Amino acid sequence: MANIKHEPHTILVTGGCGFIGSHFIRHMLSSDTACRLLNIDTLTYAGSQDNVVDITQEFKARYQFIHGDICDGQLMSRLFADHQPNTIVHLAAESHVDRSITGSDPFLHSNVIGTHVLLQCALASWRERRDVRFHHVSTDEVFGSLPAQGYFTETSPYNPSNPYSASKAASDHLVRAWAKTYDLPVTLSYGTNTYGSHQYPEN
């Protein structure tokens, strides 16, 4: 895992037209006047450019939107080559438990294959650089159901209980494996009950 100070310069955000992503982009561009930000989103039901209209207008010199799929290896390789991001914030994911139960294919495609494509592109582009960072946004769902008493920690055992959480657990393990095997600088975060404006209604 990454344990050195990191300064983001060009940030590639995946799923930036979604609920959390749009807030993150707005925060970064407002708080760091030197950073550039690329937002790639496939614009599924949970992602909308309406969430970033103000960003496009206010920060157009430092912000670019790309409509695309992170599972498209050729597209992602071109983005790395053309823009040379030194930071990835990986938010793109299918994320609704009930939808995963009735149809798991999109969850495996986006959450597992998409993460693998990003890791491979980052590894090929960054090689042995240490001034880079792959931040993977996970979920507390990977730890299973919380009992009436207690709480999860970073050392809680994985215990996914549905296709969504299983696909996120798989992507977490990929990120950790690329860190250990290839020394890729990574960090992970586990969101819990996030809510607010721009959230898709069913969540």
- Sheet order of strands, 36-41 included: 63-67, 36-41, 10-14, 87-90, 133-139, 186-191
Catalytic residue among 32, 72, 140, 158: 140
Active site residue 183: no
The single-letter code of the amino acid at 43 is L
Mean pLDDT value of segment 129-158: 89
Q: Are 118 and 14 contacting, i.e. CB atoms less than 8 angstroms apart?
A: yes
pLDDT score of 196: 61
| For the chain, domain boundaries | 10-191
pLDDT in tens, 176-185: 999 999 999 9
In CATH, 10-191 is 3.30.360.10: no
Burial call 99-134: b when 16+ CB within 10 Å, e when fewer: bbeeebeebbebbbbbbbbbbebbeebbeeeeebbb
Catalytic hit among 41, 69, 94, 141: 141
Over residues 99-119, the pLDDT tens digits come to: 899 989 999 999 999 999 999
- Distance between CA 155 and CA 143 in Å, rounded? 10
Average pLDDT of the chain to the nearest whole number: 90
Where do the H-state alpha helices sit in 32-157? 53-58, 73-83, 97-102, 105-107, 114-126
For residue 199, pLDDT over 70 is answered with no
| Gap between the Cα atoms of 186 and 161, Å rounded | 25
Confirm if 119 and 186 have CB atoms less than 8 A apart.
no
164 is catalytic: yes
Q: Which two tokens stand for residue 49?
A: 């450019």
Reported as a pLDDT band with limits 50, 70 and 90, residue 44 is confident
| pLDDT one-digit tens code per residue, 122-140 | 999 999 899 999 999 999 9
